[in-house]
Amino acid sequence: MSNLIFLIPIALFLGALGLAAFLWTMKSGQYDDLEGAAWRILDEGDDKPKPD
Amino acid sequence: MSCCAAGTESAAELEALKSEAPSAEEMWLSSRPLSDGMRQVDLIVPGVHCGACIALLERELPKTAGVDHARVNLSTRRVSVVFGDTSSTKTAGDHAEAVLTALGEKLKALGYPAHLPGGGEEGVDPAFRELLKALAVAGFASMNVMLLSVSVWSGADDATRDLFHWISALIAAPALAYSGRIFFRSAWDALSHGHANMDVPISLGVILAYAMSLYETITHGEHAYFDASVTLLFFLLAGRTLDHMMREKARSAVRNLVRLSPRGAMVIRDDGSREYLALDEIEPGMRLAIAPGDRIPVDGRVVSGRSDMDFAVVNGESAPLLVEAGSLTPAGTLNLTGSLVLEATKSARNSFLAEMVSMMEAAESGRAGYRRIADRASSIYAPAVHLLALGTFIGWMLVSGDWRMAMMTAVAVLIITCPCALGLAVPVVQVVAAGRLFENGIMVKDGSAMERLAQTDHVVFDKTGTLTRGRPQLINSASVSPDHLAMAARIARASRHPLSQALAVHDLAGDAVPDFDITETPGDGVEAISPEGDVYRLGRAVFALDGHDQGIDGAADGSQVVLSKNGVFMDVFLFSDQLRRGAVQAVARLSALGIDAEILSGDREAPVKALASELGMKNYVAGVRPRGKVDRVKALAAAGGKPLMVGDGLNDAPALSAAHVSMAPASAADVGRMAADFVFLHDSLEAVPLAISVSRKAGSLIRQNFALAVLYNCVAVPVAVMGYATPLIAALAMSSSSVIVVLNSLRLRRKTAVENFARSASDQRAPVGVSDAGLGASA
């Protein structure tokens, strides 16, 4: 029983953390272009032309 | 990246010729200021497909002087370009114009035709964000409450159980208040207007369950339904979010395809000065300068100039008409060859385009009477659930006299009969079906369109642009001399006339710019003087052969072009409109599905009859005006049919709205696409039978889901009414019914891998065998 005093708040805190993280990602527009994000991950991303 | 190499196909090339980048003035009008002197303009670029397109545009566009950065959104096919230059503040406007002109040229050079988004829609959808947030909160709460409930079910008792119940109550309260809002609001709206919808039992169930559970907790009772009420909310929100997502995705996609009527026009003032005005500011009586390639912004009368004009939006015909001083030009028609000065006769609000829109709105209201399957189900389901719960309460009151126990059982009934399986049944299927259609290049505007398409029993096709490509193609290229063809094609490049463009595709020399001195005479043809002094003429026989048509002109109806050198006949090129790809197969498959098809065209009798016999269709009507099409569609509906109208073009738009359900190709006029329920992006007409079979399959899955939900209730309700439903059983039963419904819906997805394979293997040919198999599975 005494363990629960810690465990329940910790569980709730971690859950709330996840919820807050989700709300933040949504607010910062990370779900606006899911298709594009899937392609961007394949991009080298150094934004420089190749040195050939 | 072959997928991005725009211009490899002749079709894409022609398309690129037609749709130039918007002018700098138009972009300036639609751009919006950011902080510190920068401005942002959003452009729709339908050509972006893949990662390479993103990388290319984001790398190349900022190389234009003045452009700061560009960001591509692949989902909505948009590019946001931030431009501006803080150093040259004194001529900010002029500078921006130069930047935008360069930007437009850059996009064209990269092979990505761009246009501006339609007005009135901007940014992210707030309703969707609200739903997602509500879903996230409900998900968080339901997970944690469930965790605590599992402990209670596995034997926590006395003080521990009370503690857990109290914590659950504390988590559930804000979650219900926040996430439940969406249902409470809608339920309240319905109640205050004196009718009930599906949200009423949901709200009632959730609130009663919470209130009863709280009472139980306070009185140290054994059973609390906090978990059930929050999980119920979570499932329902999931269904609602899916529903919203599907509609919004397709809607924005259709919106993005809309190629705009111009945002303004160059107005010539009385003192001869020119000024670019936005569409709303153009008044009747103003004189407008229209360049070749421009669309007419408002209805007008030609004051001076001579040109060929594409009246396809009015009559559906692709063959251009000659306009001269005094001719009337409805808004939306396309000026092809000559510069014109128009006098505006109507303002934008009263123009031909606006009239067509109001005609469509009138037709649209007729279709509003359609009720979605979910609505029909809920109108039966909601009162039944309430009666059942009330009956349970009264029954237990009579039997036991214990109001607490009776109330608990009634709440259990409300929860266990929870419409969450029903709430998921429709949206999940429709999202999956819409996804499958989307992969085959078909966009769906909303779920009810799919339900309506599944019912269709009669298809009405427009001719030009729907059954045919709406673009003339050279048909005698094998019999003309290759040298003559090459010469004609090179000259034709200078002209925007559709026949010229069909010829220009055959210019194999490519970029070599002809050093001819070229002049175009609207209505007649093109004259080109070579460096050696030879005069080549390409156009009507009378024009090319100096007045002697040698009997050529009468032979065919205008779909031919004569090439002459110094007035001497060289060759004649014949054109005809070709069948859209897959048209024959589509008609055959429709009749296999048991659907009648007919042609309804504004064209003359002879070509329509020829087309009908080529496709093996018995029924056709020729020479129909836009209103006639509406009347025909209405007559079909009045006879008890559910007509599907397939058409492009503005002249089809009212009929598209009036029909039970409608489809348009992506090449259709803007208004046509807006009016249609479905838009197919691939060239092939086989999209029509495919969409019908997927919709039918979706319809049968929805009915199966309802059957599953009813079956589930038949088992669960007696248990709840008898009072045996503990929270554990209620939660298990509720979740499992939802999971079963979702799994059943996903069966629609199974064929997709095969479908993709079939498409890539045969170059986008609509998969013939697949949807037949799909139909077989549904039977």
Q: Does B160 touch chain A (CB under 8 A)?
A: yes
Closest CA to B83 of B73, B75, B98: B98
Q: Considering only alpha carbons, which residue of chain B is nearest residue A26?
A: B129
Instruction: Kindly determine whether residue B51 and residue A40, on different chains, have CB atoms separated by under 8 Å.
Output: yes
* Confidence grade of residue B394 (pLDDT, cut at 50, 70, 90): very high
- Least reliable range by pLDDT among A17-21, B337-341, B436-440, B551-555: B551-555
Q: Select from B311, B307, B328, B308 the least CA-distant residue to B602.
A: B311
* Tokens encoding B146: 């469930």
How many angstroms separate the CA of residue A52 from the nearest CA in chain B? 17
pLDDT digits (tens, 9 = 90+) for B693-720: 889 988 888 888 888 888 888 888 888 8
A43:B136 CB<8 A: no
Interface mutation target, options B54, B58, B165, B179, chain A, most CBs of A under 10 Å: B54
User: Between B286 and B223, whose confidence is greater?
Assistant: B286
Do B255 and B121 contact (CB within 8 A), yes or no? yes
Q: CA angle, corner B171, sides to B170 and B176, nearest 5? A: 105
- List beta partners, residue B726: none
- Whether B459 contacts B235, CB under 8 Å: no
Mean pLDDT, range B356-374, rounded to an integer: 62
DSSP state of A12: H
- Tokens 């130039």 belong to B20
Segment B281-300 shows an average pLDDT of 83
What confidence score (pLDDT) does residue B19 get?
45
Q: Among the residues of B193-225, which ranges form H helices?
A: 199-218
Judge whether residue B160 has pLDDT over 90.
no
**AA letter at B285:** G
- Quote the CA–CA distance of B266 and B273 in Å, as a whole number: 10
- Inter-chain contact A35–B75, Cβ cutoff 8 Å? yes
Distance from CA of B147 to the nearest CA of A (A): 10
Query: Strand pairing partners for B619?
Result: B598
Q: 10 Å Cβ neighbour count for A46?
A: 7
Interface test with A, best of B42, B59, B74 (most A CBs within 10 A): B74
Closest CA to B165 of B214, B228, B232: B214
Shortest CA distance to B426 belongs to which of B774, B746, B745, B778?
B745
Strand order in the sheet with B568-579: B468-474, B568-579, B560-565, B535-539, B525-529, B517-521
Contact B337/B538 with Cβ under 8 angstroms? Answer: no
Q: Tokens standing for B504?
A: 């220009």
User: Which of B334, B331, B260, B243 is CA-nearest to residue B702?
Assistant: B243
CB contact under 8 A, B75 and A36: yes
Q: Is the dihedral of CA B712, B715, B721, B726 positive or negative?
A: negative
- Mark whether B462 is an active-site residue: yes
| pTM for the full predicted model | 0.67
Residue to mutate among B75, B146, B148, B158, with most A CBs inside 10 A, is B75
- Flag whether pLDDT at B256 surpasses 60: no
Q: Report pLDDT for B505.
A: 75
Q: Is the pLDDT assigned to residue B727 strictly greater than 50?
A: yes
Distance between CA B611 and CA A4 in Å, rounded? 79
B328 pairs with which residues across the strands? B301
Of B431, B433, B72, B46, the C-alpha closest to B248 is B431
Which residue from B350, B251, B338, B246 is spatially nearest to B297, judged by alpha carbons? B350
10 Å Cβ neighbour count for B613? Answer: 11
Q: Which tokens in the block code for residue A8?
A: 């329940």
Query: Per-residue pLDDT for B676 more than 90?
Result: no
Interface residues of A toward B, Cβ cutoff 8 Å, are 1, 4, 8, 11-12, 15-16, 18-19, 22-23, 26, 29, 31-36, 39-40, 42-43, 47, 49
Best mutation target, B1, B53, B73, to test chain A (most A CBs within 10 A): B73
Q: Give residue B178's pLDDT.
A: 93
Q: Which residues of B touch A48 (CB under 8 A)?
A: none
Percent of chain A with pLDDT over 70: 81
pLDDT at B666 over 90: no
CA B300 – CA B346 distance, rounded (Å): 7
User: By three-state DSSP, how is residue B1 classified?
Assistant: coil
Indicate the DSSP class of residue B269.
P
> Does B124 touch chain A if contact means CB atoms closer than 8 Å?
yes
How far lies B734's CA from each of B689, B705, B717, in Å? 37, 14, 11
B59 in contact with A at a CB cutoff of 8 Å?
A: yes
Tell me what the mean pLDDT of segment B642-666 comes to: 84
Model confidence at B529, pLDDT cuts 50, 70, 90, reads confident
Q: In what order do the strands lie in the sheet with B67-73?
A: B32-33, B39-44, B78-83, B67-73
User: Pairing relation of β-strands B78-83 and B67-73?
Assistant: antiparallel
**Structure tokens of B460?**
């009405």
Q: Looking at B462, B577, B652, B670, which residue is catalytic?
A: B462
Note whether A26 contacts B50, CB cutoff 8 Å: no
Q: Which amino acid is at B440?
A: N
Integer-rounded Cα Rg, in Å, for chain B is 32
- Which pLDDT score, from 0 to 100, does residue B10 have? 35
Average pLDDT over every residue of B332-344: 82
Q: Cβ of A39 and B74 within 8 Å?
A: yes
Confidence category of residue B538, pLDDT binned at 50, 70, 90: confident
Do the chains contact at A16 and B140, CB–CB below 8 Å? yes
Contact B676, B693 (CB under 8 A): no
Q: Point out the least confidently predicted range of B383-387, B592-596, B597-601.
A: B383-387
pLDDT tens for each residue of B441-484? 787 877 778 888 888 888 998 887 788 877 777 777 777 788 88
CA distance B99 to B461: 45
Which residues does B47 contact at the CB level (< 8 Å), separation at least 6?
B4, B6, B53, B111, B112, B113
- CA nearest neighbour of B103 among B39, B49, B22: B22
Question: What residues of A are in contact with residue B72 (Cβ under 8 Å)?
Answer: 36
> For residue range B420-447, what is the model confidence (pLDDT) as tens digits?
677 777 888 888 888 788 778 787 877 7
Element holding B363 (H helix, E strand): helix B352-367
Q: Does B327 touch chain A (CB under 8 A)?
A: no
Coil vs helix vs strand at A13: helix
Query: B35: buried, middle or exposed (CB in 10 Å: 19+, 13-18, 0-12)?
Result: exposed
The verdict on a CB contact (< 8 Å) between B124 and A32 is yes
What whole-number distance in Å separates Cα of residue B767 and Cα of residue B779? 19
Can you tell me which residue has the tokens 């003309």? B480
Residue B267, strand partner residues: B275, B288
Interface touch B59/A19, C-beta < 8 Å: no
Least confident of B116-130, B606-620, B665-679: B116-130
CA nearest neighbour of B71 among B85, B53, B86, B87: B53
| DSSP string of B414-447, one letter each residue | HHHT-THHHHHHHHHHHHHHHHHHHHTTEEES-H
Average pLDDT score over residue span B226-231: 86
Nearest to B136 among A22, A34, A36 (CB): A22
pLDDT bin (cut points 50, 70, 90) of residue B97 is confident
Q: Which residues of B fall within a CB distance of 8 Å from A35?
A: 74-75
CB contacts of A40 in chain B (<8 Å) are 51, 54
The sign of the CA dihedral B761, B764, B769, B771 is positive
Indicate the residue of B73, B124, B137 with minimum beta-carbon distance to A19: B137
- Is residue B244 within 8 A of residue B220, CB to CB? The reply is no
Q: Is the pLDDT of residue B688 over 80?
A: yes
